[in-house]
């Protein structure tokens, strides 16, 4: 009996590529030949037996178990690679070139993994949908060329096309899994003609389609078969939303079709908005849909389109079942926060919530017990790396990788992994990388509380808004740049402007004299704002241009700075230490509110004991 495949994940970055063992060690796989140049892509075979990556000058194929080099193909400028389901054949794609002799460039080639021999080559201009689609037994392979579906027998590549079906206007095809393969063909709407989806039996392409559905508002379609290949979900969309509600086109319809043609249904969803994601359960009998404007609704349906459970509204745009179909992950990535909710399909209860902030990739492990989330570049160029979570919610492993482009688990067939069990397994001990992160950042769980403005939180004002102990203005208080010239009556002098007439002396005629007469015996006029300001600073208040004596200067208290130099230095040091303590208190309040602190701020908090000790010594002395 062959040994059980080991858990493993791979990653590709700008300056690194690696294979990492899974739980519990999370150590690099021994014997991996790390290339000295950047890899352009990597791929596991569907059975997890092989691993290959493309370099600028060659493609290397390894046995995933042990990382032993199996084959090197000297092929420059390869952009994409792909394996057949059993890893017998390797396909490569490079950008099409214009050859000097005018011949078509065969930029899509198929090789035998065991011998390295090139078996067949095609011209394939578009990267989207470039690879062949194989049946699970590798008995047949198909590709779409224009409006023609070409069929090949991989065991007899030299015979070329063994069957062909022409469907006018076909834009995409999807070959079903299962032992009785079918082909779903999508024809886009064109020149007023409706779009349609047709399903043909692969072994009887010349016969009439077994199922056909016609509809409008369909420029493109997502087609997803269930695992056994008996039912298919079709989501149609337009390139442009004429209603203006979405940048990404309008959802035309969501259809559930049977491969045999005995059932078809358009699902009517109870919330307006597009469909963000949908996925079949591994049991092939039910599927999940996330739909509607945010917060979106998540719902579970059976294979007849009947609602089984409503998971409510939340900020979701991602759904994925684990390989056993026991757990389902509902999350929000991209422009959403990155929260991931795990539900138990059996009890329909929430198991846990994972805070995978900034993640742009999420994938279940083959054994259904762990989840890999990654922050990839160029979607986000900071905090790139991989995090491994347990299905019960614990963070198991962290690996920070600069400019991370790609990450994924090694596939393992579901019949080669341990059974999930009746209860959700307990999480193992986390890797030391998690403990190091907690020690470094001291991450604290945010306290969920209603928002209160700063003035209503019962906290002291920030140091930035407090006045210094010496009586000066606070550090953020702007200084007055306007200083009126003498004998200007508080008016500002603008250079280059014509001079205003000089103020009249007391007793002279003019409008001012009339106003003084109207005052009667009410006493002298109230000093203006500028006069009061200058009086408070002990300056002359001659604002009326007259010869009145200035008021007596205000006596100021003797500053402590004018005393003993030793006492002066001690007071300044105590004042600085007090400021540091206040700053530390503010940082501690931020930490209590769940805000993440930088390493320098954490170091500042650690100095609190020392500062208090110094302050106590100064107070005693």
The mean of the pLDDT values for the chain is 82
Among 263-267, 446-450, 543-547, 613-617, name the one with the lowest average pLDDT.
Answer: 543-547
Q: Over the stretch 450-483, which tens digit does the pLDDT of each residue have?
A: 777 766 666 555 555 555 444 444 444 444 444 4
Q: Rounded distance, CA 326 to CA 320, Å?
A: 11
pLDDT at 141: 96
In the predicted structure, residue 148 carries a pLDDT above the cut 80? yes
Nearest to 587 by CA among 452, 400, 445, 462: 462
Are 91 and 132 in contact by the 8 Å Cβ rule? The answer is yes
- Three-state SS string over 133-148 comes to EECCCCCCEEEEECCE
Mean pLDDT computed over 171-191: 92
Say what the pLDDT of residue 2 is: 55
309-322 mean pLDDT: 94
CA distances from 178 to 115, 231, 234 (A): 28, 11, 18
Distance between CA atoms of residues 525 and 522, nearest Å? 8
Residue range 476-534, pLDDT digits in tens: 444 444 444 444 444 555 555 555 554 454 444 444 444 444 444 444 444 444 444 44
Q: What is the pLDDT of residue 545?
A: 43
CB atoms closer than 10 angstroms to residue 173:
19
What is the mean pLDDT of the segment spanning 289-297? 93
Q: Where are the domains of the chain?
A: 35-131, 565-620
In this prediction, residue 387 has a pLDDT band, given cuts at 50, 70 and 90, of very high
CA dihedral defined by 194, 199, 204, 206, rounded to 10 degrees?
Answer: 0
Give residue 164's pLDDT. Answer: 93
Q: Render pLDDT for 594-605 as a digit per residue (tens, 0 to 9).
A: 677 787 888 888
Quick one: which H or E segment has residue 371?
strand 370-375
State mean pLDDT over 126-141. 94
Give pLDDT, residue 463: 53
Q: Residue 570 above 70 pLDDT?
A: yes
Between 455 and 374, where is the model more confident? 374
Pairwise pLDDT comparison (462 vs 426), residue with the higher score = 426
What pLDDT was estimated at residue 448?
61
Would you state the pLDDT for residue 178? 87
Edge-to-edge order in the sheet of strand 296-302: 275-280, 286-291, 296-302, 307-314
What is the structure's pLDDT at 528?
47
> Which of 104-113, 312-321, 473-482, 579-588 bottoms out in mean pLDDT, i.e. has the lowest?
473-482
With 0.75 as the threshold, say if the pTM is over it.
no
CB 170 within 8 A of CB 209: no
Q: What is the predicted pLDDT for the residue at 184?
A: 96
Question: What would the DSSP string read from start to end of 104-171?
Answer: PP--EEEEETTT--EEEEE----STT-S-EE-TTSS-EEEEETTEEEEE-GGGGGG---EEEE-TTEE
pLDDT at residue 187 in the model: 94
Confirm if 404 and 358 have CB atoms less than 8 A apart: no
User: For residue 474, how many C-alpha atoms fall within 13 Å in the half-sphere facing its CB?
Assistant: 10
Topology, domain 35-131: Thrombin, subunit H (2.40.10)
pLDDT of residue 217: 81
């Amino acid at each position: 009996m062959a040994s059980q495949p080991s858990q493993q994940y791979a990653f590709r970055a700008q300056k690194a590529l690696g294979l990492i063992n899974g739980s519990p060690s999370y150590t690099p796989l021994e014997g991996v030949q790390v290339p000295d140049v950047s890899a352009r892509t990597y791929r596991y075979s569907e059975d997890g037996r092989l691993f290959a990556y493309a370099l600028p000058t060659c493609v290397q194929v390894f046995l995933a178990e042990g990382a032993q080099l199996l084959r090197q193909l000297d092929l420059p400028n390869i952009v994409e690679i792909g394996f057949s389901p059993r890893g017998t054949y390797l396909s490569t794609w490079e950008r099409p070139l214009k050859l000097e002799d005018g011949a078509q460039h065969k930029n899509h080639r198929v090789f035998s993994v065991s011998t390295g021999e090139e078996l067949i080559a095609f011209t394939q201009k578009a990267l989207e949908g470039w690879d062949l689609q194989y049946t699970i037994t590798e008995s047949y392979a198909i590709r779409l060329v224009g409006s023609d579906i070409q069929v090949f027998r991989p065991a007899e590549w030299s015979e070329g096309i063994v069957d062909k079906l022409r469907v006018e206007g076909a834009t995409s095809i999807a070959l079903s899994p299962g032992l009785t393969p079918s082909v779903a063909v999508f024809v886009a709407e064109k020149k007023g003609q409706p779009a349609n989806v047709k399903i043909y039996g692969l072994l009887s392409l010349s016969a009439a389609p077994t199922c056909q559905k016609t509809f409008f508002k369909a420029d493109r379609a997502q087609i997803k078969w269930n695992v056994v290949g008996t039912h298919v979900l079709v989501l149609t969309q337009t390139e442009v939303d004429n209603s203006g509600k979405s940048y990404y086109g309008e959802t035309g319809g969501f259809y559930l079709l049977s491969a045999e043609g005995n059932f078809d249904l358009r699902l009517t969803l109870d919330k307006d908005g597009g469909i963000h994601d949908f996925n079949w359960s591994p049991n092939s009998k039910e599927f999940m849909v996330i739909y509607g404007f945010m917060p979106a609704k998540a719902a579970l349906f059976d294979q007849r389109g009947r609602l089984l459970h409503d998971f409510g509204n939340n900020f979701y745009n991602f759904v994925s079942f684990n390989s056993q179909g026991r757990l389902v992950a509902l999350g929000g990535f991209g422009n959403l926060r990155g929260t991931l909710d795990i539900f138990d399909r059996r009890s329909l209860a929430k198991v846990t919530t994972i805070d995978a902030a900034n993640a742009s990739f999420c994938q279940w492990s083959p054994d259904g017990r762990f989840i890999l989330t990654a922050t990839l570049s160029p979607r986000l160029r900071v905090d790139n790396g991989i995090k491994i979570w347990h299905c019960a919610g614990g963070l198991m492993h962290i690996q920070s990788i600069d400019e991370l482009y790609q990450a994924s688990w090694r596939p393992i067939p579901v019949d080669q992994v341990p059974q999930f069990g009746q209860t959700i397994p307990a999480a193992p001990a986390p890797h030391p990388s998690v403990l190091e992160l907690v020690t470094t950042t001291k991450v604290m769980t945010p306290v969920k509380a209603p928002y209160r403005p700063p003035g209503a939180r019962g906290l002291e004002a920030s140091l930035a808004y407090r006045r210094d102990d010496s009586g000066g203005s606070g550090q953020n208080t702007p200084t007055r740049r306007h200083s009126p010239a003498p004998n200007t009556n508080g008016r500002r002098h603008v250079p280059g402007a014509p001079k205003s007439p000089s103020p009249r002396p007391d007793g002279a005629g003019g409008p001012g004299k009339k106003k003084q007469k109207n005052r009667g015996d009410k006493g002298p006029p109230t000093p203006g704002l500028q006069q009061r300001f200058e009086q408070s600073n002990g300056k002359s208040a001659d604002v009326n241009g007259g010869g009145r004596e200035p008021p007596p200067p205000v006596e100021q208290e003797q500053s402590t700075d004018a005393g003993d130099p030793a006492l002066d230095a001690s007071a300044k040091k105590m004042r600085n230490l007090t400021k540091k303590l206040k700053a530390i208190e503010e940082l501690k309040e931020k930490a209590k509110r769940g805000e993440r602190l930088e390493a320098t701020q954490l170091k500042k908090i650690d100095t609190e004991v020392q500062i208090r000790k110094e302050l106590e010594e100064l107070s005693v002395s």
